[in-house]
Structures are given as structure tokens and as C-alpha cells.
Amino acid sequence: MRTATGPLLLCSLLNVVSATGQVTELEPEFLAPLENHTVTQGRDVYFTCIVNHLSTYKVAWIKSDSKAILAIHTHMVAQNPRLSVTHNGHNTWMLHVSNVQKNDSGTYMCQINTDPMRSQMGNLEVVIPPDILNDNESTESGGSMAVEGGTVKLKCHATGVPEPSVLWRREDSRNLVLRHEGGREKQVVRSYDGDTLVLNNIQRSDMGPYLCIASNNVPPSVSKRFVVKVHFHPLIRVSNQLVAAPMSSDVVVQCYVEASPRAMNHWMRDETGEKLPPSDKYIMTETVLNEYSLLMNLTIRSLEKKDFGNYVCTSSNSLGKAEGIVRLQELHLTVKSTSTASTPKYIDVKSRKQQHKEKSKKWKRPKGRKEASEYGDAEEDQEVTTVALPELQTPVASQTATPASTRTPLWILHSNAAVGFSIGDPITLGLISLYCLCRQ
């Protein structure tokens, strides 16, 4: 029996007569399950609860792990300004969570106060993109610098939810070389997984920028850059220890330098020991090849008698000093337009170079890829200057003893100088530099 009071009358409209003839009230029912959400911290999210036949019952939102009642109908219970509830006036209730925080994760329940109560649940997972802490613990044992043979330890402390994984690689995509302490074994890898990268027995070729990259599948991934420096005593190599050029020509002498930290590089005359100043006479250039190697060029212009002799290149840094010597000797040209017998042979630069390359294999230190990189691949890059032949390693005594006119020297024309003249022509030697490959 029902009394016809206002609200109940309304409710009775929802009643139907069952097959048995009894009046049955339709129970509230959920029309769709509560969604699960994975949300990045700081974003907004909402749960949608759709209920039919709610009747006089109420929809409440509960955080089921803490059992805290968040809201009843449209009335907020929780004192949390980031939470709110909306109702569309019909069958849909929404719980909004704005600026989601880590502690918002958990299970949310949409509950109806029937007896027994009805509810459905949805999960909120809050994820946080990776971050790398900028602490000063990140580089240990003297930071990212070590003397060659020492150890550099780089550390990347990453945070994020879920916990990020850390990967290391070199910025220029060269391989990482992991050497065992005190041992000879080494591992060459493209990348290394782990918080801490330890570079034992570090070599100059390990120098350069490294990246640690933290990722946890929540974009964006982050990286931190470490510049690894390896310090060592300077090293100089001279590929062309003997350079011959005629009077009044210009000539280039060159030294290959490896040094770190950055060195002061100079040219000197052997005889005076004085630093050569840059001038119209002497033009110095340095071509940087990589973090620790460069080529020093000295151009000596309009050669005069006094310019022949030894030139010394020096490189000094806090760990020491190195020097190399280039001997510049006069080239006596004996070109006569009538005589073919004493005419020097001019050789095609290209084929001569190739010939040289083949020859040079015999005496250059054998090197695999790894060794080549330790020398900055400089030899491979310097086509014109690699005219040193085995004979030129200790050439001075025997050659100066032989009068130039009795030899049949072979010449190499500096690549830029191979401009129109042919055998027998009078040669203008203005800007043409000639390298003597004076083979006996």
C-alpha cells in the first residue's frame, strides 16, 4: 500500500506491474562500466557514471583505497579544490579531477545507496614523464675529466612514474668503449643501459659528448649531456719531414698535433729558437680535426736563401710539450728547353698519389679501424701532405751530399698548381709549390 505523498507518487510512475501482478520497483542499474584512466600528472580527467532508474537513491563517489567519500549527488564532501562533480540533469554523473597529482591514483567508485549498495569501480593511474636530477653528484671521481688511463664515472639520476630506464650513448653516435679496469679486454657497444657509466682506462678517442637518456614510455624522454675530457701529453707527428721548394716560391710545411687540454702551438726556426710571428712572410693556420687533434700549417712566402733550414713546430699544454721538425731545402731547378735528358719528369698528381698510397702501406704502422680513430684518421684525410716516403724518414744526409743536378728527381705538383704548362716550357714559379720526392 502506498500513500500518495508527493515524492513517492513521482516514484510510483517508475513502477511496473510484474507478471505475477505484484507492483515491483525497478532497481537502479549502471548502463556502462566505469572507465580506467592513465593520465599524465598535471592533466585533467573525469569518470562518468551512468545510472538508470535511480529513483530516490543517490549517486556517491568514493575513493575506494582510502574509503573517503568524495561527493554525494552534486554535493562535494572532500575538501579538495581539484575535485568536482557534475550531473547532466538526467542519468549521468561525472567526477572531475583537475591537475591530477600522483596521490590521486587509485580506485574510484561510483556507488548507489541501495541495500545492499551497488557500485562500480574504475582505476586512475597517474604517470609522470622522466626527469633527470641536476645534482652535483652526477659526476664522480674528478668530474667528467680524467688523465688518459684514468677513470670517468658519469651518473644520471632519473625520476618518473613508472620508474624510467637510463641508457647512455655518444652524441656523435660513435661506439662506446668499455674497458675493464687494469685489463686489456674491452667491449664496444652502441649504447649502455644503467644509471652509471664507468669509463675505465680512458683513452683520448673516448673524448667528446655523452648523453644519458631517461625514458619510461611517458613522453617526452629527457636526456642530459656530459662532455668527457681526457688530458694527455701533446703529441706531434710530421708526415713530411723534408720539403724541397725552389727560390721565390711559396711553400707549406705542416705538423699534426694531438693535445688535451688545448695546447699553445708555435712555429720556430731551429737556428734561432724564436717564435715566428705571423706576417706577410709567415702565414699560420690551424685546422681542427676533432676534440683533440689539429693540423698546423705554416706557409712561407717568397722563399729566399735564408728561409731554407729547419722549422720546428711545438705544442705545449699543462701536461707537457712536444715538437716536430720539418727540413726545408732548396730545390735547384735545371730545366732547359733544349734538353730532354735533364728535364724532370712531371707526374700526374693523381696517379702518383695512388702509387704513394700503395707504397706507404709498407711502412705506415698497421692499423685497424680502432687505431685509426685513435689517430684522428688524419693520415687518411691528408692527401697532399702524405708524400713522405720511407726514404724520407732519414733523408737529409744522403740527399744533401748529392748535387741536385745529378739526380733525376720526381716532382709532385701541389694540387692547386697544376696549371697549364708542359714539359719544355719555361716555368714561372710564382705561386707554384713543388714537393720533391727526391728518390735516389
Ligand X SMILES: *[C@@H]1O[C@H](CO)[C@@H](O)[C@H](O)[C@H]1NC(C)=O
Of 183, 228, 184, give the one whose Cα is nearest residue 204.
228
Of 47, 42, 216, 29, give the one whose Cα is nearest residue 123.
47
Task: Specify the residue, 263 or 295, whose C-beta has the smaller distance to ligand X.
Answer: 295
Task: Specify the residue, 24 or 36, whose C-beta has the smaller distance to ligand X.
Answer: 36
Task: Specify the residue, 35 or 330, whose C-beta has the smaller distance to ligand X.
Answer: 35
Residue 8 C-beta: closest distance to ligand X, Å = 35
Task: Specify the residue, 123 or 175, whose C-beta has the smaller distance to ligand X.
Answer: 123
Residue 76 and residue 83: Cα distance in Å, rounded?
A: 8
Residue 296 C-beta: closest distance to ligand X, Å = 9
Residue 190 and residue 201: Cα distance in Å, rounded?
A: 19
Cβ neighbors of 297 (< 8 A, separation 6 or more) are 252, 253, 254, 283, 284, 285, 286, 287
Which set of grid coordinates corresponds to residue 357?
698510397
Cis bond leading into 162, ω under 30°? yes
Residue 120 C-beta: closest distance to ligand X, Å = 9
Contact assessment for residue 268 and residue 237, using Cβ atoms and an 8 Å cutoff? no
Residue 101 C-beta: closest distance to ligand X, Å = 4
Residue 385 C-beta: closest distance to ligand X, Å = 4
Helices then strands, counting H and E runs in the chain, come out as: 5, 33
Residue 285 C-beta: closest distance to ligand X, Å = 4
Residues engaged in binding ligand X (CB under 6 A): 33, 35-36, 101, 103, 123, 135-137, 252, 254, 285, 287, 297, 384-385
Of 267, 385, 273, give the one whose Cα is nearest residue 315.
267
Task: Specify the residue, 283 or 372, whose C-beta has the smaller distance to ligand X.
Answer: 283
Task: Specify the residue, 249 or 385, whose C-beta has the smaller distance to ligand X.
Answer: 385
Contact assessment for residue 157 and residue 132, using Cβ atoms and an 8 Å cutoff? yes
Q: Please calculate the CA angle 67-69-74 and round it to the nearest 5 degrees.
A: 155
Task: Specify the residue, 136 or 272, whose C-beta has the smaller distance to ligand X.
Answer: 136
Contact assessment for residue 213 and residue 226, using Cβ atoms and an 8 Å cutoff? no
Residue 252 C-beta: closest distance to ligand X, Å = 4
